[in-house]
Amino acid sequence: QTHTADRQLEQIFIFISTVHLEIIHSASLLPQLNHTIYLRDCHFQGPHIISVSSLSTVGLSCVGKFRCGSSSQCISTFAQCDGVVHCENEEDELGCVRLSGRSSVLQIQRKGEWKTVCSEDWNNWLGISACKQLGYSRFWLKFVVFLSVVLFLCTCSSGLVTTLKCLECGSRPQYSTRIVGGNISKPGQFPWQVSLHYKSEHLCGGSIITSRWILTAAHCVYGFEDSSLWAVHVGLTEQLIHGAQSLTVESIVYHSRYRHRGLDYDIALMKLARPLVFNGIRPICLPNYGEEFTEGTMCWISGWGATEEDGETSVVLRSAMVPLISTKTCNQPEIYKGLISSLMICAGYLEGGIDSCQGDSGGPLACEDSSVWKLVGATSWGSGCALRNKPGVYTRITKSLSWIHKHMEVSIGQSGPELRTI
């Protein structure tokens, strides 16, 4: 499907037809701020992870430039995504492709700016290559090759842009029915929901985003770095049921800017040791860059968390519909007193009664958009559970898309258990 777009003269135009591809091979307690706690069971303890991010190199020397994480070298933003490797580990040629807006318009980064991709002579091979740059395949065509073809096709007499879909996602059976105050979920109602078990016990929730990747919260994995102690259970509605699909974890990564007992950058990825088979379970779609989800939009939360504050986790998967709350409202003095950053999104009822709780952490805040389900948030924290003026707080996924896709891209072809920060 095509969409007319405003163009700048320097934009790159390539697309001619839509490419639809399915590439599936491929708590600790916080400081006591009104009893603010992580929404995770707190009785699991373990060694802390030493982040390998280069904290000592953070300074003013790279202001307005791109920092190579592997060597702390600073390069011009014009050198980023130019098809020439300047950083030791090729970081400057990662994250050079993105999908933008509700229509999933393809854009590439060039000379420090994002350019809309549009034009003649587009083909499926280029579509597959673009999806690989986003991490949707085991097999990777390096950006330098893709860029050389894109720049060659730099005319656009039609002035049209095209949407790109790399993975069939966000679909589920329809339900007529509507956690704390929530309902018991039906089989298949949330086919992207997973239960993350640490040492054979449910610890957190998560969401399937591809056949190899699970998205969850950083505070779920911080201090629990041994991937061999984790198992991902999919297709579950009851925790004690036998025969559900259980998969081992190959590697775990949390955001390098996440800090223990912190609130921002509460996001992590688990890479499965083998791909999921989508036979009843399905991935949820990631939102695109620039997508907005407005206040009052009704979305769903789900998980096996406690059904009351300080209670036991639920044996059955529960779910509830909650409205999104604006950051301005959520930062009011009677609510969260300015604690909500642009990296977070609030959802719930200010009167209380329905909320996520301990054990739901990392699970999905899923919103339906034109019959497609998108992962708008990951359960992060809150003050108590289902209290008045204390709605749930979720990691805002649109603010972490670059991090997600960069890690998926750089991990293509890698194997072996590890935990890293990027």
**Contact call for residues 318 and 185 (beta carbons, < 8 A):** yes
Q: Choosing from 207, 302, 361, 383, which is the catalytic residue?
A: 361
Q: Identify which of 255, 285, 262 has the alpha carbon closest to the alpha carbon of residue 402.
A: 255
Kindly tell me the sign of the dihedral angle through the C-alpha atoms of 15, 17, 20, 25. negative
Of 219, 255, 405, 407, the catalytic one is 219
Does residue 361 have an active-site annotation? yes
Query: Which of 266, 314, 355, 360 is labelled catalytic?
Result: 266
20 included as an active-site residue? no
Q: Please confirm, yes or no, whether 360 is among the known catalytic residues.
A: no
Catalytic positions, please? 219, 266, 361
